[in-house]
């Protein structure tokens, strides 16, 4: 089974870092967040990846093209320009990096890599969020659902404390620090997909946003299943998110490190 990862956006909300590198290459603990996501999939036996590149794609391609040497001990003999690999710390991954266009929307990006996926089930996610999702369990639940696509649903916590106030005298009747958002489940961006999903994306249209008409139509047709995740999930949208994720990693309390 292959894992498809969206990694072509501009990452404008994290512009402090993405003016030089694409968002999926912003680091947590010295490794790109893209690497962390791939390590999660690899933990569950998925080692073949299709990366939908776009903005500053050359950074992603260079990283993986030289991954073996960057992650191995080696001796370079400058007299004859030979390289001897001493100890391999690389991964057992096969990574296909596809130029899906600079301004292409997510639906268009996915359609462009269809030929690299073939007629088989695949998993799909974004290159900017980490979670401790049980990938194997989500696939098993997807199989039992009989649906064409399963998305991971998550109920995020609120950003502010919630108050219940007596409007007659302004006394606070109850207080709860950061309760569950507005009680709505949100799309956490981890999918399990059947190849039939491609039928919902028109060909040769880079303007198609996967999260709009394709997903809306799949839900309307009763072909979408929700895998409810109640563990850890955090997208890296801002510099503050990146700082928080790095702090978790540095303190050894990174819940997404399941490997």
The rounded distance, in Å, linking the Cα atoms of 239 and 221 is 39
Is residue 160 pLDDT above 60, yes or no?
A: no
Q: How many domains does one find in the chain?
A: 1
H or E element: which one contains 202? Answer: none
Rg over alpha carbons for the chain, rounded to the nearest Å, is: 21
| Rounded Cα–Cα distance for residues 151 and 229 (Å) | 10
Across the chain, mean pLDDT equals: 92
pLDDT digits (tens, 9 = 90+) for 211-225: 999 999 999 999 999
- State what percent of residues in the chain have pLDDT above 90: 80
Alpha helices by DSSP H, listed for 86-127, are 106-112, 114-117
DSSP structure class, residue 3: E
CATH classification of the domain holding 22: 3.90.550.10
Q: Tell me 215's DSSP state.
A: H
Owner of token pair 């006394």: 171
pLDDT value at 202 more than 60: yes
> In which band, very low, low, confident or very high, does the pLDDT at 85 lie, cut at 50, 70 and 90?
confident
- Predicted pLDDT at 159: 63
On whether residue 80 sits in a domain, the answer given is yes
Q: How confident is the model at residue 183 (pLDDT cuts 50, 70, 90)?
A: low
Q: Who has greater pLDDT, 182 or 151?
A: 151
Structural domain contains residue 258 = no
Residue 170 has pLDDT above 70, yes or no: no
Using one digit for the tens of pLDDT, what is the confidence trace for 51-76?
999 999 999 999 999 998 888 888 99
Strands (DSSP E) found in the chain: 2-7, 27-28, 31-32, 48-53, 72-77, 82-88, 94-99, 122-126, 129-131, 149-154, 162-166, 171-176, 186-193, 224-229, 233-235
pLDDT at 162 over 70: no
Q: 167: pLDDT confidence band, cut at 50, 70 and 90?
A: confident
E runs forming strands in 93-197: 94-99, 122-126, 129-131, 149-154, 162-166, 171-176, 186-193
CA distance 104 to 122: 21
Summarised one tens digit per residue, pLDDT across range 25-40 is 999 999 999 999 999 9
Residue 204 counted as domain residue:
yes
Residue 259 lies in a domain: no
174, part of any domain: no
Interval 98-129: pLDDT, tens: 999 999 999 999 999 999 999 999 999 999 99
pLDDT of residue 171: 65
Domain span at residue 13 reads 2-155+185-250
Kindly report the pTM of this predicted structure: 0.90
pLDDT band at 177 (very low <50, low <70, confident <90, very high): low
């Amino acid at each position: 089974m292959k894992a498809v990862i969206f990694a072509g956006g501009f990452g404008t909300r994290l512009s402090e870092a993405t003016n030089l590198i694409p968002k999926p290459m912003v680091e947590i603990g010295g490794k790109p967040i893209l690497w962390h996501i791939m390590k999660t999939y690899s933990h569950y036996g998925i080692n073949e990846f299709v990366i939908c590149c776009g903005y500053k794609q050359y950074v992603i391609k260079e990283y993986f093209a030289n991954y073996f040497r960057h992650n191995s001990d080696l001796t370079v003999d400058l007299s004859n320009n030979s390289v001897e690999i001493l100890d391999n710390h690389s991964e057992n991954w096969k990574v296909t990096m596809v130029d899906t266009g600079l301004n292409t929307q997510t639906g268009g990006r996915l359609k462009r890599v269809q030929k690299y996926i073939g007629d088989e089930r695949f998993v799909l996610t974004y290159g900017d969020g980490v979670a401790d999702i049980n990938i194997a369990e989500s696939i098993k639940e997807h199989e039992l659902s009989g649906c064409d696509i399963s998305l991971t649903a998550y109920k995020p916590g609120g950003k502010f404390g919630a108050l219940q106030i007596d409007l007659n005298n302004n006394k606070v009747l109850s207080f709860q620090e950061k309760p569950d958002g507005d009680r709505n489940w949100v799309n956490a961006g981890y999918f399990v997909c059947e190849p039939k999903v491609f039928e919902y994306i028109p060909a040769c249209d880079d303007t198609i946003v996967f999260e709009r008409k394709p997903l809306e139509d799949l839900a309307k047709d009763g072909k979408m299943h929700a895998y409810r995740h109640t563990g850890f999930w955090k997208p890296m949208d801002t510099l503050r998110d990146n700082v928080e994720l790095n702090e978790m990693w540095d303190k050894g309390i990174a819940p997404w490190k399941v490997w």
